Structure formats: C-alpha cells, structure tokens
Structure 1
Amino acid sequence: MNGYAVSGASLSHEEKMSLIDDKSLSDVESEGARTDFEGRFSTMQWTGSVKTYFGGLRLSSWASTALRMVMFLLPSFVHHRCARERFRSERLSPTAYLDGMRGLAALFVFFCHFFYTAFKIAEGWGHNNANYEIWRLPFVRLLYSGPSMVCIFFVISGYALSLKPLKQLRSRSFDGFSQTMTSFIFRRYFRLYLPPLISTFAVMVLLRLGVYEMTRTFSGDRKYVHNVIEHHPVLEETAEKQLKHWVREMYNFVHIWGWEKFGGATGYDVHLWTIPVEFRCSMMLFLVILGTARLRTSARFVCLGLLMWFVLRSDRWEMVLFLWGMAIAELDLIRDAHEPNISQPPTAPLALLPLEKTEGAPEKRRCANGLLWTLASIPSLYLMSEPDAGPDGVPGWKYLGTLIPEWFSDRYRYYQMIGSVVFVFCVARSPSWQRVFNSPPVQYFGRISYALYLMHGPVLHTVGYMVERWAWSLTGTEGSAYNWGFVLASIFNIPLVIWASDIFWRAVDAPTVRFAKWLEGKLSIKE
C-alpha cells in the first residue's frame, strides 16, 4: 500500500513511524522520497497544472500536446503549484537535511567546473606571497571547491546506503534486512548508471548534429579560456564509428576491476569519473554491512575502525568516507536521532530534526547543545577549505601540510576528507545547520542534485560556451572587462544549467528510479 494514500489520523504510532521511515534518505539516497514526489508530479502535472492555468479552454489535440510540452519545459517550481503545496504540507523526513546538503554540494561542483575554465581557483589565499583575492580565503572558497564537495557526496552516500539496513539489524529484523540488501544491490547499478547512459548518449547525438563543433574552437581558445581547458568530446568520422566509440566508453564506464585514479572516466563527460567510484565503494560497503550483520554493536565498530585504518593506509580516501558514513549512521541510530515527534502538526517540519536525545531537559540545554555543535562545525569547514593546489606555501596551511603522511598521495584531499566527515557529524547534531539544509530552495537542489551533476557539463560545453563567447564579444577580454564578461555570461548560464537539470530530473532521473523498482518487482520471487 502507498503510505501517502492513507489518512494519518487513522494510523497507530508504529504505523506512522513506518511511513515516515519509508520517506527517509536511507532508501538508497532518498530514492523513495524523490520517486514518490515525482510520482505525484506525473499524475498531477498535466491534469492539475493545465486545468489550473487553462481551465475552461477547449483545445484541439495538437494544441493540447503543444501546451503540455510548454508546461513540461517550464521549471517544476513554476507550474507544479498543487504538488508543491502538498509537498510543503507534509513532514520532512528526519534525514532530509542530508538531501539539502547533497544538493548544495552538487551546485558548488557545478560552480567549480564553471569558474575554473576562466580563473585559477585551485591556489589558496596568499599562495607564495601572491593571490590575495577574497574569494580564495578559507570558508569563502567552499562555494566553488569541487573536491571538498565530492568528499561530502561520499560521506552522505555511505550514510544513506547504511541507515536502513543498520536499523533493521539493530531491531533484529533479519528477514527485512535480507530483502533490503538484495534490493539495494540489485538496484544500485540502475540508479547510478542509467541516467549517465542517457545523458552521454544525448551528448553523442549532439556531436553528430554538429552542436559541439560550434564551440570546439572556443573550448581551447586562450583568449577566452584563461585556466583549465576541459576535454571537448571527439567527433568521429562516421555515425557508425561514433556509436561504436560510445559503446566502448560505456563498457569501460562500468569500472569495477581497478581502483586507479579517474578509472572509468568517459570523454563524453569528464566530470562523471565519480560515478564508477560511487559504484565500487557502494559494493564494498554492502559487503562490509553483510559481513558485520551478526556482530554485536561494539564488535561491529571495532571491525569498522580496523577497516578504516586499513583502507586509509592503502590510500583509498574514497572508501574511508563511505565507511565513516556508515559509522555516523549507526551512531545516529544509537542516539535515536531519527525518531520524529509525530505529535507535531504537518505544517511544522522543522520540529522533526534529529536532535540530541535530551528528553526532559530544559530548552536552554537543547539550545546550548545545538550551539555547541554548530560552533564545532566551523573548524571542519576550515579543513574542507584546504586549497586544491595543496597546502604548501599557503598561510595557515604550511604547518598542517607537514602533518600529512607521505604515503597519502592526493595531499590536497587529506584535510578535505577529515573536514567533510566532521562536518556531517556536527550537522547531524545542529538544528541550526539543519534548518539551512531543510529550507525549500536548498531542498529543491537536493531533489535535482544528480541531474545537476549530469547536466552541467553538456550544457556548459554547448550553449554555455556560446553564451560566454557572446558576452565577451560585448565586454572585451582585456583586464577587468574579462571579469565583467564572465559575470554577464553567468547571469544566463547558471539558470540555464538549473533549468536543464530540472527537466532531466523529471524526464530521466526519477523515471529511471521507478524503472529499477518496477524491474526488481517483475524479476523477484513472489512470496
């Protein structure tokens, strides 16, 4: 039964808890919540939206089709009024703040790839007694620090993939645990790889149509590209060769037999190197969960600590982050952080945030605890601000750089890794931070986060470069005129990427999640 179709007034406390948990982030990175939300769109957007805006009009079939197409091309927050109001009236899940955190991380990764073609953003403030721009300062640089945001992605993924199975283990629901793990493992490939397969296929089509050729010269022109020249997809001689090349790239994209850097990365969108990493680490995480399923909590933490040391010493920073996500998830379960107060009305979602378990404690004590964790998050943000060019020669980082072990190869990721773990840990205990990540605009970016990650590259390499060339043709490229041209291009490019991501989310991302669930249901043994 679909939990959203049941009246909350007629349910017991346990049933309400079950329905709230069904919408939590633990269902493989909030797939359940986002799919159900998108499902409501699919049933309401054409009928409800069209009737709302064009009620009483008699349209022919072709006009109706054209109208539906126009409505679909509008951003979801513009025309889904009915669905949006219903969404706002429902309780946020206790882990909704992680959705928002992931959404902002995806947005800042986009900013990184947008800015670093024009500006040198990798070096820290005062690097080698130069580059004293304010946007290089710690904390400020997090707005475009792509590597730090990738660390956040991996911690959240470890948390999301672990939460539900760990909850079932702790309640001794081993049958439910078995079903959850088989479902997660089966659907993980489809969840991670189907959207990129579709997005890169679209890139191949645009290549054959000549869209990428319109910006190929610009993509490597040092008059406009002052810093990183990103790989522009290669146009093959024939459509047949192009298709075969894409098939080979996608075959290599499913990269599970090696752990070399950027393994599985595809030339059709170089930003997608993290997807094979996510898949490998997910499978390893599932193996760890299964291997420690029957252990006592203390024994599981001991094993987890030893594994963290081993993978860190093996220079596998990405797997460390996944394992830390699992550890934070169980710590939250131990302190009952995901037990919302269902006595609160549905119009007060912020009352459902995971707080420290302080039943009977004065309000001042709860506020003091929250303030303490908010303050504790500040050093973690500083650590996440480690310059991407490394700490050497940067004020405030010279000494910290000497503490990085020699065997840790990606030196710039060392403190970013530590900072991301500490930040997620603190935010789980800070109502103030959770209010930020649970705000409607941030939650919106959480819903389109995967689509934003997949779409920003193709949009920037096509329409985005065209807009930049136009902007610099107006302002010029000498001195400060270059900066003003970039600002002008940003006014158009940032909304364009968000708009394309919104469409991709509704047209591809959410439907692929539903497809994976449908396929699993069709292929599974019926009890």
Structure 2
Amino acid sequence: MRVRWSSGMLHNAFSGASTLLRLVPRQGWAGNFVRQILPSFVADAIFPDHKPNYKLHPTSYLDGLRGIASFIVFFCHYTENNWSALTPSYGLEPDKSDSFVQLPYFRIIFSGRPMVHIFFVISGFVLSYKPIKSIHARDLDKCYTALASSTFRRAFRLFGPCIASTFIIMILIQFGYLSHVRPWGEQIRNWISVVFHQITWGWDWDRDLRPGYDIHLWTIPIEFAHSMLLFMVIMMVSRVRMRVRQAMVFGLMVYCLACGKWAGFEFLTGLFLAEWHVLKSNQSHAKEWESSDLLDYANPSRRSVFWRIGKPALHFFIIAVGLFLGGWPNHDAEKTWGIRWFLEKTPSPFAEMGGLAPQKFWFGVSAAFIVWTVGEVGVLKRLFEGPIAQYCGRISYAIYICHGPVLDIYQKKFLGRPFEPAKGEPGQKDFKAAVVGWGVKNWFGIETKSQITIGWFVGLLVLGPLVIWAADIFWRAIDNPVVSLGKKMENAVLDDAEPSPRAQGYSPAA
C-alpha cells in the first residue's frame, strides 16, 4: 500500500521529532552522557553551545581527501566480504550479466587498495609540512623542534588507538560477539603477542603482517617505519640549498622505486610535494619563486596561452588516468581492458615481484600525481575543504580502525542469506533441508547482478551509519585523547632548562 504524505502528516512528524528533542537532557551528567553517545554532528545540532569551531588550514584539503579515501576502504572490505560478485572487471564473465558498478571509474567506489597509497603520500606531505616551512623561514631550530616532537609523538599517534581497538576486540571475543572464545590467560597472551610482533612491528618495512584481531591494521607498522625514514631524510637535507635538496629528495624517490620500495617512494613524494606547496604559498620567497624554472608556470606574468589551456588538460588527464588505474582488479588484471596495458608496462623490479606488486607501482605513481592535482585545481580543493569531506577527515583514522570489527559483528546479521529450497527426497542420503532466508540478501535475492547491486546499496545504507557512529565515538573517546596524551607526555619530559655555562663552552679563565 502506497502512503501519501499530506502537509498535516508531515507537520505531525516534525512536531513529534521536536518533542523528542525537547525531552533530551541538556545539563548535568545525563546531558553529557547523551552528547557522548550520539554522533558528533547530531550532538552539535542538539547542543549548539558546545559545538567546536573547526577552522581550515593550508593543508585541510588533504584531510578531506584522506577522509573520503578512508570511506572507500570501508566500502572495499564491505564489498569483498559480502558481494564478491561485483569485484571482477566488467565483461569478464560473458555468460553472466554485469553491474554498472563493475565498469571503469564506477568501481573506484569500492577500490580500497589505491587509497592506502594515497594515505601514505598524504602522511609524507603532512609530516613534512612544518619542518619544510621552517627551513624556508631560515629557522632551523624550529625545524628540529618540529622533527623531534613529531618523532616522539608518532608512536602514540599510530599505535595507541590500535592497541585500544584490538583490546576492545579481544573483550568482544571473550563475550562471544566475535570469533571463538579462548581461556582468558591464553587470549591475553595472544593479544600481547599481536601488539608486539605485528601491530607495532616496524622492522619489515613494507611487508603485510596481517595482524590478528584486525587484519586491516597491516598498514600501521609500515606507516611508522616510513615516518622515521622521512624524519631522517628531512634532517639530512635541512641545511642544504633548495635546488640540491629537491634533487636529493627526487633522487631518493627514484631509488626507492628502483628497489621496489613503494612505501618509501610515497612518503618521500609527500616531502617533495610539501616543499612545492610551501614554495607556492610563501610570499617571502618571491625571489626563489621567480627564479625557479620548476615553478615557472605559477607566475602570472609568465603564463602563456598554451599553458592556460594545457594546465587544465594536464590535471584532467591525471584524474582520468588515476581513477581508471584505481579500478585495477585483484584478479585477472591481464584480461582487463586497459589495465593489461599498464600491467605489461610495469617496470622492474615490480614486474618480477609477482602477486599484487605491479598494481602497487601504478597505485603509488598515480597517488603522487592525484595528491598534487587536488592541491592545484581549485574546484577539487574546495570540494575536499567542504564540511562533509572535513568531517570524514576528522574521523578518518577511526573509520579505518573501526570498520572491520563493526562489519564482523553486524554484516551477517543484517545482510543474512537467501532462501534455499530443499534438495532431494526426505530420508535419502543426499537430502538437504530447506534453509530459511533472512536479511537483505533474502529480500532482494542474489541471482542477478541487478539484485546484487540493489542489495549492495541497501546494505551499505544499513551498515554505513553503524560504522560512522562507532567511528565517531571512537574518535572522541579514544583517538583524540591518545593524541592529547602524546602531547602531555612530551611536555612532561621536556628538558627546557637553560644550558649551563660549562655546556656553552664558557671558561672562567677566559
């Protein structure tokens, strides 16, 4: 039966919602509790007096880009775990129909692997920005202070939330919500081993350690190890001339690719792009700007008609190729139109490494160009500085950490399975009783790609809010406090005493 909404019905609905909002406690412990358990954007609407004032900064667009990328990682694991029929490239199954989301460009919505490479380029950029800015201001003391502070707090920032999340997962396992219950002592020993030998194990550089309790945290030790590499490189090049520094960093980028070290290339690319950004934005270096052939296009007096046409075309080409490469399938890349050409052109040593190594080369290179392009194209930059993208950026790390366990708990409950009729005759050996269907898969079916696509979308509408809600609470309850704890620990142990005369080389006899 179709329901027709009249103006009176809408008025009653809004009046009922307003009444419920008025019943929400606003003061005292009850009001604080309600605010903490609601998603922050809902709580900010109900408690406008407590709404934080988020301001944009020069690299805010990178936060927005990272936020959108984190959601795509969530979509990727949701799709691969529950709707694997959508993951093959379009047209590879001639005896079956295809969904439009399998087409190039559309499939980027659940292509999570290239997003990891974008994370790493952004991390290299953001971690380099303050030290590089200080270098250009000729303030090496500030540069070294920023490097020391970032190095001290990096372990807190990366490992703290992961240790907390895996501990929560361990508790959920013991209460029967996930996996198989173990004796408490065995469970705790196993969790400690995972923390020490997988989550915080940065000694394997770019190896996928597939951590227990949350396999998606495999990138965290890689992130930590290459953060330390980045800080060392910045320290090394901090006192050399700008052109020499750029040449050294670019040379190290090429060296990393020649060694098959994709993560090292991506972090150092972030450093290279951070200096590019500082050169563009720092008006005090106008002389460097005007004398640099590399940045010649940014000087309005030197722009040619060709460049005014060529620049948008270049950025459009980068986005088009990057989004196409982002749809690189996990299987049958050699059969996929367009992708197989890039696969054949993969350089050594990635071509010989096998597995998914070729895609990592192309993902890394395209991530570098995409991060650069987003910062150069005003429309894209403003898009990622918008309120939705900025909110996604604030909870991006929490989304990355929380989406796995939330899916593990709820995806089977909501998505269910389709009805299966009985097979064979009762009493016979091959008889199989009918299986009752439930959930999204039973409602829409999974016989055709159209049914699967509808079920995929509806399931996302159901599970997406749960992931966002969990991530929002984790962000405020754990992620932000861990960041604050790192700052407090650093301030608590700082040695900011004035150096003694003896330490300064002072001699009374002089």
Assess same fold via TM > 0.5. Answer: yes
Match status 1:69 vs 2:11: no
Distance apart, 1:240 and its partner CA? 1.1
Match status 1:286 vs 2:231: yes
- Whichever residue aligns with residue 258 of structure 1, its letter is D
SS at match of 1:304: helix
Match status 1:94 vs 2:58: yes
Match status 1:196 vs 2:162: yes
Structural RMSD (CA) = 3.1
Quote the Cα distance in structure 2 between the aligned partners of 1:372 and 1:337. 26
Quote the Cα distance in structure 1 between the aligned partners of 2:365 and 2:26. 60
Pairs within 5 Å for 1:95-494: 95-117=59-81, 118-127=83-92, 132-212=98-178, 233=179, 235-236=181-182, 238-252=183-197, 253-259=199-205, 261-263=207-209, 265-336=210-281, 357-358=298-299, 371-372=312-313, 374-377=315-318, 378-389=320-331, 391-408=333-350, 409=353, 410-469=357-416, 470-472=438-440, 474-475=442-443, 477-480=445-448, 484-494=454-464
CA offset digits 1:446-504 (Å, max 9, x no partner)? 00000000000010001233222251474275514555544443221111001110111
Higher Cα Rg, which structure: 2
- Whichever residue aligns with residue 106 of structure 2, its letter is V
Distance apart, 1:374 and its partner CA? 4.2
- Aligned counterpart, 1:349: none
Distance apart, 1:302 and its partner CA? 1.9
Distance apart, 1:306 and its partner CA? 2.2
Distance apart, 1:371 and its partner CA? 3.8
Quote the Cα distance in structure 1 between the aligned partners of 2:204 and 2:194. 16
Quote the Cα distance in structure 2 between the aligned partners of 1:122 and 1:250. 32
Aligned residue pairs: how many? 433
Distance apart, 1:382 and its partner CA? 2.5
- Whichever residue aligns with residue 378 of structure 2, its letter is P
- Whichever residue aligns with residue 301 of structure 1, its letter is Q
Distance apart, 1:402 and its partner CA? 1.2
- Aligned counterpart, 1:219: none
- Whichever residue aligns with residue 240 of structure 1, its letter is G
Going from structure 1 to structure 2, the CA distance change for 1:358 and 1:301 (only over 3 Å counts) comes to closer
- Aligned counterpart, 2:486: 516
SS at match of 2:480: helix
- Answer whether contact 2:131 2:143 (CA < 8 A) is retained: yes
Quote the Cα distance in structure 2 between the aligned partners of 1:84 and 1:367. 46
Distance apart, 1:271 and its partner CA? 0.5
SS at match of 1:116: helix
Distance apart, 1:372 and its partner CA? 4.4
Pairs within 5 Å for 1:498-509: 498-509=468-479
CA offset digits 1:420-456 (Å, max 9, x no partner)? 1111111111001011111111111000000000000
- Answer whether contact 2:206 2:261 (CA < 8 A) is retained: no
SS at match of 2:281: coil
SS at match of 1:428: helix
Going from structure 1 to structure 2, the CA distance change for 1:289 and 1:473 (only over 3 Å counts) comes to closer
Going from structure 1 to structure 2, the CA distance change for 1:94 and 1:210 (only over 3 Å counts) comes to same
Quote the Cα distance in structure 2 between the aligned partners of 1:525 and 1:405. 49
- Aligned counterpart, 1:34: none
- Aligned counterpart, 1:344: none
Going from structure 1 to structure 2, the CA distance change for 1:83 and 1:297 (only over 3 Å counts) comes to farther
User: Normalising to structure 1: TM-score of the pair?
Assistant: 0.75
Quote the Cα distance in structure 1 between the aligned partners of 2:337 and 2:398. 37
Distance apart, 1:123 and its partner CA? 3.2
- Answer whether contact 1:159 1:322 (CA < 8 A) is retained: yes
Going from structure 1 to structure 2, the CA distance change for 1:472 and 1:152 (only over 3 Å counts) comes to same
Unaligned ranges ≥5, structure 2: 1-20, 285-296, 417-437, 498-510
- Aligned counterpart, 2:291: none
- Answer whether contact 1:103 1:444 (CA < 8 A) is retained: yes
- Answer whether contact 1:157 1:325 (CA < 8 A) is retained: yes
Unaligned ranges ≥5, structure 1: 1-52, 213-232, 340-355
Distance apart, 1:312 and its partner CA? 1.1
- Answer whether contact 1:142 1:148 (CA < 8 A) is retained: no
- Answer whether contact 2:250 2:272 (CA < 8 A) is retained: no
- Whichever residue aligns with residue 259 of structure 1, its letter is W
Quote the Cα distance in structure 2 between the aligned partners of 1:316 and 1:196. 25
- Whichever residue aligns with residue 401 of structure 1, its letter is L
Going from structure 1 to structure 2, the CA distance change for 1:294 and 1:120 (only over 3 Å counts) comes to farther
- Answer whether contact 2:207 2:222 (CA < 8 A) is retained: no
Going from structure 1 to structure 2, the CA distance change for 1:403 and 1:382 (only over 3 Å counts) comes to same
Distance apart, 1:407 and its partner CA? 2.0
Going from structure 1 to structure 2, the CA distance change for 1:141 and 1:201 (only over 3 Å counts) comes to same
Quote the Cα distance in structure 1 between the aligned partners of 2:478 and 2:26. 31
Going from structure 1 to structure 2, the CA distance change for 1:83 and 1:116 (only over 3 Å counts) comes to farther
Quote the Cα distance in structure 2 between the aligned partners of 1:56 and 1:329. 46
Identity rate of aligned residues, in percent? Answer: 32
Pick from 43, 47, 57 the counterpart of residue 79 of structure 1.
Answer: 43
CA offset digits 1:188-240 (Å, max 9, x no partner)? 0000000000000000000001111xxxxxxxxxxxxxxxxxxxx5532x111
- Whichever residue aligns with residue 125 of structure 1, its letter is Y
Quote the Cα distance in structure 1 between the aligned partners of 2:226 and 2:171. 31
